[in-house]
Structures are given as structure tokens and as C-alpha cells.
């Protein structure tokens, strides 16, 4: 980064400080991870210079012969990783991928049935402040107050009542696996399309650690960071029954194009312009890494570490939504401890422990305060933490939360956090591209 340091020392300094923060803190935000050096190098390459509107072999610009190969590699690796018939790797984000899916499956004013944001759903699944809740008519299912889990009988009842055009699955703060076949049966019963947004759990699904939505759902979207450990971006997939599945979709939607062309055109030109070729190349790198046997071992450890955290918190008297986890995250309800999510996040941050405040189902606080915190295992697992280290992570979190405004306690924990981080080095700034 010599050129950046010389040309723009202000930005260089910001990157240097952020690198230090990542090196010296516990990164426990469930939607974050650490990309490999190879992935970061691809993102920082000259591919950022290339405009490539369109798709490989069908671009609107010349000079795309090399980026075409990169995009083809990304698509083929994604299809192999998820046993898919179709992959579109151009979406700039998970939200962009979701916007394209709405264009294919929905008309303005159509009803979407999705998981309530306040119960762990996602902003783009019908929140009234998001395009998905502004352009379309959102209806919601939730979790049960006593179990923190989705009751599929109530989902069926709601679907029969509101007659949705599409049912969405997926969440940003749901700690249990999904019964895709039960959702499929409900969708078929009411004549709805079925969409899974696996942004949080894609890596676990690819490794066979969670149920697979691709054989069951009409379409699947995901981000490429989080558990997939790639660059920030999005992707759309269709399972290995895609030809039949999307052929039906195209006919139902009144489209005359081939099903894959319908989805492609919803991304470009439907909702985006030129793709980010440097990010697509980085996606290809990450998918290649995910096809290695080590990735399966990593995902198993992600899941084991999350389970260890859940058990340790419950042993220390904390209430967890759904009393545990099937995936990479836990949702801690702090009301029994007399704490808010806002206070917990701020105190932990000063101690070098990064989490995010999060609404819990049936929360009594506002979204700006919340009664809970969301904690994930992917990033520290990437760093090399195992179950023993995560037990220590929980101990340190508990130490802070017992005295969240005691600066001596916070300083002591911050010192211990740095000592642990030094044992598991992440990036060497001097050699980071």
C-alpha cells in the first residue's frame, strides 16, 4: 500500500486504524467475517477498471475477453458449490439480489409473506421502510413467545388468510434451521412462489451443516460474505431442478423468455448497470476456497463454536431466544439481567468486543435501544478460535455485562482480549495489499 500511503495519507491512516481494530478486537457480529488475503487482492486488482455491462459473450463493451472468463469461473464454481443449475454472481449486495427476485416473481401491490423483522427477519423481506414494503404488500409470520421458533401451522393459517404471491424464508437473527418442505407444502397449497434468502447461512448450507433449500425453493438468494467468507456482494441461485422450476415460473409470470434469461434480465438491466468485475473475481476466489475440504471443517467448527457459546451463556444464567442455536449465531435476551442491548453493545465495544444490539421477539424496547444482542461465531472461527477459546470469550463478555459501566473492569477485559487476539494473528498491515 505504498502508493496509497504517499498519495492519500488520510485514507491510509483510516485503513491502518481499521486493520488494527480488526486485529485487536473480538469480531462477533454474526453478519461479518474475514476474507482471505487472496480474496482481498482480487478486490484490489485492475479489474475494477473494466466496464462490462451484460453477460459473458454478450457484453455491451469491448475488451471483456478476460473478465468474461472470471465471471464464468465464478458462476461455475458457485453452481458446483451449491449443486445449482443457475447462478447469477452480478448482484452488488444481498439487497440487490432480492430486488431482482421481486422483479421476476412479483408485481407492485402483490402480497409477500415473510418473517417479521422484529422476530428476526430481514429489512428486504417486507419492512415498511424498505422498497420491499413500499412497492409490495407485506404480511408477516413470527416466532412463538414461549419457544422462539416458527410454528408452521400458524404460517399455513396466515398464508391461507392473506393469499401471498410469494413466501419468503430466511432471517438475520433466527437461530434455528428451516423446514423447507413444510414451507413448500404451504406455498403449493396457496399457489405461491417460494424464495429462500440464505444470506446468513449459505456457508453452513454449502458444507451440509444445515438443510438445503435449493432442491425445494423456486429461487434462492444470498450474500457472499458472512458464512461464505468472501467479498461483500450478492448472488442468485436456482437448484438442480431449475429448468422445470423456472420454466413454470416464467409461464406463471407471463414471461416469454427462457427462465434463466428472465432472472438475468432482472439483474441487468432490470435493477443494476455495470457489474463490479473486481468483486466478481473475488467471489470466484472465495467459491474456490469453499470447494476445498478445509471449508467443511471450518463450517463444522463455526457451528460447534456457536453451540458452545449458547451453552456457556445459559450456564451463566442468560436467556437465549429459542434456548440455543442450530447455526452460527445466538440471540441473547438481556431483560433478565436488567440491561439493554444499547448499553451492552457500547460497554463491550469499549472492552474490544464487537457485537450488535438487536431486537428480540416481543421486545419492550425501541429498535434504537433493544433488549438483546446478537453474537456470531464465523469471524473468530476464521481466526482460529475453537470451543475452549469461545468459552473464554463468553467469560469475558459476562465479566463486562456484570459491571457494564465500570471502566476498570472494561480496561482489564480489553487487555485480555488483545492478549488472546495476539495469539491468533489476522492480518499483517505491512503486507496487506
What residues act catalytically?
51, 53, 197, 223, 226, 232
CB-count burial class (<10 Å; 0-12, 13-18, 19+) for 297:
exposed
Sign of CA dihedral 129, 132, 136, 139: negative
For 150-269, where are the E strands, in sequence order? 166-169, 193-197, 219-223, 234-239
Of 44, 34, 37, the closest CA to residue 278 belongs to 44
Of 236, 202, 227, 220, the closest CA to residue 91 belongs to 236
User: What is the phi/psi pair of residue 168, to 5°?
Assistant: -105, 145
The verdict on whether residue 275 carries a ligand-binding annotation is no
Rg (CA), the chain: 22
The verdict on whether residue 123 carries a ligand-binding annotation is yes
Of 394, 339, 426, the closest CA to residue 32 belongs to 426
DSSP string, 276-301: -HHHHHHHHHHHHHHTSHHHHHHHHH
The verdict on whether residue 103 carries a ligand-binding annotation is no
The verdict on whether residue 225 carries a ligand-binding annotation is no
The verdict on whether residue 385 carries a ligand-binding annotation is no
The verdict on whether residue 121 carries a ligand-binding annotation is yes
DSSP string, 319-337: EEGGGS-SSSEEEEE-GGG
The verdict on whether residue 368 carries a ligand-binding annotation is yes
Binding residues: 117, 121-123, 366-368
Amino acid at each position: 500500500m505504498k502508493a496509497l500511503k504517499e498519495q492519500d495519507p488520510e485514507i491510509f491512516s483510516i485503513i491502518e486504524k481499521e486493520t488494527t481494530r480488526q486485529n485487536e478486537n473480538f469480531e462477533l457480529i454474526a453478519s461479518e467475517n474475514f476474507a482471505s488475503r487472496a480474496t482481498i487482492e482480487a478486490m484490489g486488482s485492475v479489474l475494477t477498471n473494466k466496464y462490462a455491462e451484460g453477460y459473458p459473450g454478450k457484453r455491451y463493451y469491448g475488451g471483456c475477453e478476460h473478465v468474461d472468463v472470471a465471471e464464468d469461473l465464478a458462476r461455475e464454481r458457485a453452481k458446483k458449490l451449491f449443486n445449482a443449475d443457475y447462478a447469477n454472481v452480478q448482484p452488488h449486495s444481498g439487497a440487490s439480489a432480492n430486488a431482482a427476485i421481486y422483479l421476476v416473481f412479483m408485481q407492485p401491490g402483490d402480497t409477500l409473506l415473510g418473517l417479521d423483522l422484529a422476530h428476526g427477519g430481514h429489512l428486504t423481506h417486507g419492512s415498511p421502510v424498505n422498497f420491499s414494503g413500499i412497492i409490495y404488500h407485506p404480511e408477516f409470520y413470527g416466532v412463538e413467545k414461549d419457544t422462539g421458533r416458527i410454528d408452521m401451522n400458524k404460517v399455513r393459517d396466515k398464508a391461507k388468510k392473506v393469499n401471498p404471491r410469494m413466501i419468503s424464508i430466511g432471517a438475520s437473527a433466527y437461530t434455528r434451521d428451516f423446514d423447507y418442505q413444510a414451507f413448500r407444502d404451504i406455498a403449493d397449497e396457496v399457489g405461491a412462489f417460494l424464495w429462500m434468502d440464505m444470506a446468513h447461512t449459505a456457508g453452513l448450507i454449502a458444507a451440509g451443516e444445515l438443510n438445503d433449500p435449493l432442491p425445494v425453493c423456486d429461487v434462492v438468494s444470498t450474500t457472499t460474505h458472512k458464512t461464505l467468507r468472501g467479498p461483500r456482494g450478492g448472488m442468485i441461485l436456482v437448484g438442480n431442478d431449475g429448468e422445470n422450476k423456472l420454466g413454470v415460473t416464467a409461464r406463471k409470470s407471463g414471461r416469454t423468455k427462457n427462465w434463466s434469461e428472465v432472472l438475468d434480465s432482472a439483474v441487468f438491466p432490470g435493477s443494476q448497470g455495470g457489474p463490479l468485475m473486481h468483486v466478481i473475481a473475488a467471489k470466484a476466489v472465495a467459491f474456490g476456497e469453499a470447494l476445498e475440504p478445509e471449508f467443511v471443517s471450518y463450517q463444522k467448527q463455526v457451528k460447534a463454536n456457536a453451540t458452545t457459546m449458547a451453552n456457556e451463556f445459559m450456564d451463566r444464567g442468560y436467556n437465549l431466544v429459542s434456548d440455543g442455536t442450530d447455526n452460527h449465531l445466538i440471540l441473547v435476551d438481556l431483560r433478565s439481567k436488567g440491561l439493554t442491548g444499547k448499553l451492552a453493545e457500547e460497554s463491550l465495544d469499549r472492552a474490544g468486543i464487537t457485537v450488535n444490539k438487536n431486537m428480540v421477539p416481543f421486545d419492550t424496547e425501541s429498535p434504537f435501544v433493544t433488549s438483546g444482542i446478537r453474537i456470531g461465531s464465523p469471524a473468530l472461527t476464521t481466526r482460529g478460535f475453537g470451543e475452549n477459546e469461545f468459552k473464554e470469550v463468553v467469560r469475558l463478555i459476562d465479566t463486562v455485562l456484570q459491571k457494564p459501566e465500570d471502566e476498570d473492569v472494561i480496561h482489564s477485559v480489553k487487555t485480555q482480549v488483545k492478549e488472546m487476539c495476539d495469539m491468533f494473528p489476522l492480518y499483517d498491515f505491512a503486507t496487506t495489499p
